[in-house]
Amino acid sequence: MHPNVKQLFKQDIIDLFSHKRGGHVQKWIYNDQIRPDNTSGSTLWHNFITSSADYYPIQHEIDLIPQLTNQISHDFDTVIDFGLGNQRAINNKTIPILLSQTNLKRYIAIDVSENSLLGGTQRVKNQFNKIHISRINGDFYNQHDVEGIKRLGLFLGSTISNQDMIHGEEFPRNSIVNHLKTLGNTVKNSNQGTLIISFDSNPDLKSALSAYQHPSWISMMTGLMHDVAAELTPSGDFNPSMWHYAPKIDVQNNVLHHIICPTIDQTFCIGNIEFNLKKDDQFVIINCFKYPIDLFSELLTEAGFTPSNSPVRSTHNTMTLIDSHI
Ligand SMILES: C[S@@+](CC[C@H](N)C(=O)[O-])C[C@H]1O[C@@H](n2cnc3c(N)ncnc32)[C@H](O)[C@@H]1O
């Protein structure tokens, strides 16, 4: 890891073990660090999404794209892609949406991952050689200045479903609304715009949880502890192999907490901070919110959007795509 990145990782792990925050470490679980069992976060994620028959969000969202492209306006001149993702997302979501636009002049991609940006924009360039393509390597939860008159933002892949929260805390309403406001400010600039957001709206949290009962997902959760061992070299009796996965459903707050716990007491230091973790202490690695559609429309309205009255939904409402004006 680059020293600056390592410093951010260290602070996030200190906040996790101090129970200050939860779910914020999700950005580190796709890490390419090779572990003793020859896995890495990114290989486990790939194994998970390609072999878990029950993991519905990706395919259910792709299935909704034709209906969405029929429904939205077709005269946007600028598309801003917030977090463009992998080849499957570009080919099955971004490109069909771009193809539906008859007046397209500009495609702007924003992502923290340099690899996603380079790979994704190249794929778009191969297909659209007359439009202007630009990349912003940065955080989409910061406001960015973009050109364009009729702007369409894409926030796909259910990225809004992963938010910080410690189990037992209140629903992080303000933080979600603020994230939506920031995306809205980038989309509208000083004028107005439209944002399409996909979110997981599965009302059946038990069946949603069963989608994650897969060896690669479980190893991905506990495997982060191997990255802690390799990158932060805690002194004392930190043991990256002695952890287990213990997810929790919080029905009231519509969230699955993906939690890991040490299977034995562990006392160690990271830098000069000492931790005394007890067996079965709970640490939230990632939260997957399953927003009811009405709640999500309320959050959008609170953030200044006018959500469409006809969101596109999967059978049984597992996934929803909604376009909103701001
Ligand atoms: C869940 S994936 C979604 C990808 C794609 N849009 C899709 O539909 O599948 C999230 C993408 O956003 C990027 N990302 C995550 N958090 C980000 C942030 N705060 N700022 C910028 N990019 C971020 C990741 O690198 C990844 O490419």
Residues of the chain with pLDDT > 70, as a percent, come to: 100
Q: What is the model's pTM?
A: 0.92
- For 187, residues 6+ apart whose C-beta sits below 8 A from its C-beta are 80, 151, 152, 153, 193, 194, 195, 326
CA distance 31 to 43: 9
In this structure, is residue 299 part of a structural domain?
yes
CA dist list (Å): 284 to 45, 74, 120, 177, 193: 18, 41, 30, 21, 35
* Stretch 119-141: mean pLDDT: 94
Look at residue 134 in the predicted model and tell me its pLDDT: 96
**Which domain range does residue 197 map to?**
1-84+142-326
pLDDT given at position 287: 97
Residue 184 has pLDDT above 90, yes or no: yes
* Cα 140 to ligand 1 centre (Å): 9
Q: Quote the CA–CA distance of 264 and 282 in Å, as a whole number.
A: 12
Determine which residue's CA is closest to atom 18 belonging to ligand 1: 139
Ligand 1 nearest atom to the CA of residue 155, by list position: 6
Q: Distance between CA atoms of 260 and 61, rounded to whole angstroms?
A: 28
For atom 4 of ligand 1, which residue has the closest CA?
A: 85
Nearest to 167 by CA among 247, 65, 221: 247
Q: Does residue 120 sit within a domain?
A: no
Q: What is the C-alpha to C-alpha distance for residues 102 and 89, in angstroms, rounded to an integer?
A: 21
Test site for ligand 1: of 26, 95, 111, 319, most ligand atoms within 8 A of the Cβ: 111
- Which DSSP string do the residues of 54-75 spell out, in sequence order? T--HHHHHHHHHHHHHHHS-S-
Question: What per-residue confidence (pLDDT) applies to 30?
Answer: 86
Q: Does residue 75 lie within any of the structural domains?
A: yes
What would the pLDDT profile of 30-83 be if each residue is shown by its tens digit? 888 889 889 999 899 989 998 988 899 999 999 999 999 999 999 999 999 999
The answer to whether residue 128 is domain-embedded is: no
Helix (H) or strand (E) holding 243: strand 243-245
Length of the chain: 326
Q: Is the pLDDT of residue 190 over 90?
A: no
The pLDDT score that the predictor gives to residue 298 is 97
Q: Is residue 80 part of a domain?
A: yes
Q: Confirm whether 102 is domain-assigned.
A: no
Residue 92 lies in a domain: no
Q: CA 285, 181, 69, 211: dihedral to nearest 10 degrees? A: 20
The first and second tokens of residue 216, run together, are 């690669």
Domain assignment present for residue 97? The answer is no
Pocket of ligand 1 (CB under 6 A): 27, 83-85, 89, 93, 110-113, 116, 139-141, 156-157, 159
CA of residue 19 to ligand 1 center, whole Å? 25
For tokens 């993906």, name the residue.
Answer: 258
Number of domains present in the structure of the chain: 1
CA–CA dist 244, 145 (Å, integer): 44
